[in-house]
A and B are shown apart, each in its own frame.
Chain A
């Protein structure tokens, strides 16, 4: 059993949980995910790791309620436990492979949308610890649903935007990106985008125009998360890859987003029963 040692509500329907999982915490790296199960009848739900502490033995996840399984997660309280919390899974962010010298020269932009902000955090934090201060665009529909802004401000240069203009730049992340690059003279040579699939698609189209190499983190459907089922198949540069073992981060300019979005909705079109059912939507 994996005990929830802290629970915070970040926004309506979005909660953060700090979970006691010493083995996962000890091996976790930015970019990886866990698979959790709330109860014996529950699904295996993949969730991106949002923070971790190997000394104290905990891992943080952020979940937005969008259906039955995410509701089950968010209904758990401090002191409750997940029956399963397996990981870390997937490959860590490519940034971790760069030699320190090369990394220090990088001008890195993160683009976070919705609940995708929390999974961006460990990457920005890791970079800060390695002497690199990255720019972070955080986008939301409206200011009330921003998450992880204060945490992010401690580790990176944060730029906010809202669709309704209630805070920060009035517009979408692509608009703010354009403003930073074309009006504020910003130059980037690497970009990481995490958020809803549709946002990643359009943000990656924008960075392609600017010629910025871009990674996106996919939240595909999964069952085991270890390479066994192939539910998470995604086409990258025309090749079939498994999000769970080859990803979750892929070259954003080569991912077939339309296929990925279609596959993500597979069981929404054919839910298990009349009751609202859905698979993981870890970032938005």
Chain B
């Protein structure tokens, strides 16, 4: 019986070693391990894992090919639904998606779908010669993509495969959006994985122009009226950091997680051969409990600081992936649950010296269904620290909405778009975090692909 085989453990860097470097934590499966793990899949006739996958990858389909050693065929099956398997295999919250629904998980442990997807994706990257892209005849229509994150890359790929002339405009000097500036090297290698995924998109004939900030360098209207694009897809993400609005937030040593991670990831501040500085002091407190908070705190740890998480709910409510929380704990990150900052304390020179917090207890469930934290009166206490990093979520950048007439946004500043990505402006489509607010790579990728379909329909009717 296949399901008698225990879940194949994945090799990782030892916690005490990796807490001092930026190399990838998880080594992933080798071929033998991947085939063994693949053999555990029951190939359910009505696979619940597929239902729970936001882009409905044919999971039993690719795993059954993999189990037979037909890796190329497995990659082809994934490619029907996902353009970024090496990325999603690493960063998807599998425990609440595919693996959370796996039947094997009821009595024992679910199939390691994420690790298998990663194995197949990486194998595809290592064998580019087997995946030569088809170049369809150009259909004479031009589409501009705003932003080179997961939504933009996925949308661009699908359109290029249909013969559209596609160009991505990226504001930053590197391509990949949040995959480059947000997610750290130790979770998602930049040269080995992200650059290769971008290269694959370029090979489809997609042109990428960096250093173009839509809303500043050019507007959406200029793209359509002056540069002759027949349609535009906005995948500009949610890059605007939130702060708490508490006393002391502008002291020296208080950073947004975006700033801290951008310095480390995009600007390689952790590497002495790069010019951009980064500061941690001896101790860093990260406020928040999501993946970004985990990325920031583990980056601080790797830079040599004592690293603390402060989160106002309990561990059960942590929005971060289980694996990230587990890894952070192994690496020695200290978790302060049911704790909420009240103000940040500064020294006479205006630098952070501590953060005053209050203990919380869980009260009635709020609109998100999670029990809402309530402050315990008189429980204030101070954590001494040199740096405070706010990881409280992000919202979409206003540059595009402020410079595009007729493009409706909601009260949270997100672009209004339907399931297929149609916005309130004809010919303008949007998807990913720019529409939903900060979410996941796979949802953004899915939205990019849906929009590509809608753009294609719109332009063939035009």
Contacts and interface: CB of A to CB of B under 8 A. Distances in A.
A124 to B, nearest CB: 23
A69 B274 CA distance: 11
Interface stretch (B126-134, B239-247, B375-383): B239-247
Contacts, number: 123
Nearest to A260: B250
Interface string A210-232: 00000000000001101111110
Contacts of A87: 213, 216-217
B272 interface: yes
A266 interface: yes
A81 to B, nearest CB: 12
Nearest to A232: B259
Contacts of A16: none
A281 to B, nearest CB: 15
A23 B212 contact: yes
A233 B254 CA distance: 10
Nearest to A277: B277
Contacts of B252: 262-263, 266, 269
A83 B211 CA distance: 10
Interface in A99-150: none
Nearest to A242: B240
B250 A86 contact: no
Nearest to A246: B398
A83 B269 CA distance: 18
A240 to B, nearest CB: 6
B267 A230 contact: no
Given A86-B211, A87-B216, A272-B269, A228 B262 contact: yes
A42 B267 CA distance: 8
Interface in B146-205: 171-173, 181
A64 to B, nearest CB: 17
A93 interface: no
B279 A227 contact: no
B343 interface: no
Contacts of B211: 84-86
A55 B460 CA distance: 36
B262 A223 contact: yes
A39 B276 CA distance: 12
Interface string B195-233: 000000000000000111100111000000000000000
B173 A86 contact: yes
A68 B213 CA distance: 27
A245 B351 CA distance: 25
Interface centre among A223, A230, A277 (most CB of B within 10 A): A230
A43 interface: yes
Given A23-B212, A23-B218, A27-B217, A43 B240 contact: no
A255 interface: no
A228 B397 contact: yes
Given A86-B213, A266-B279, A229 B258 contact: yes
Given A233-B250, A262-B252, A266-B252, A228 B181 contact: yes
Contacts of A42: 275
Contact of B241 (A23, A228, A259): A228
B241 A230 contact: yes
Nearest to B386: A270
A235 B275 contact: no
A69 B259 contact: no
B350 interface: yes
A23 B277 CA distance: 30
Contacts of A88: 216-217
A262 B350 contact: yes
B295 interface: no
A240 B254 CA distance: 13
A228 B218 contact: no
A267 B255 CA distance: 13
Contact of A267 (B239, B249, B277, B349): B277
B278 to A, nearest CB: 8
A229 B276 CA distance: 14
Q: Which A-B residue pairs are the 9 nearest by beta carbons?
A: A229-B259, A272-B277, A86-B211, A228-B239, A230-B256, A267-B277, A262-B350, A84-B173, A43-B275
Given A44-B267, A86-B171, 12 more contacts: A43-B267, A84-B173, A84-B211, A86-B210, A224-B181, A240-B245, A245-B399, A262-B252, A269-B351, A270-B279, A272-B275, A272-B276
26 contacts: A23-B217, A27-B217, A41-B273, A68-B275, A69-B275, A84-B173, A86-B171, A86-B211, A88-B216, A89-B213, A89-B216, A223-B259, A223-B263, A223-B267, A226-B216, A228-B240, A229-B241, A229-B262, A229-B263, A234-B250, A259-B250, A263-B250, A267-B277, A267-B279, A269-B252, A269-B351
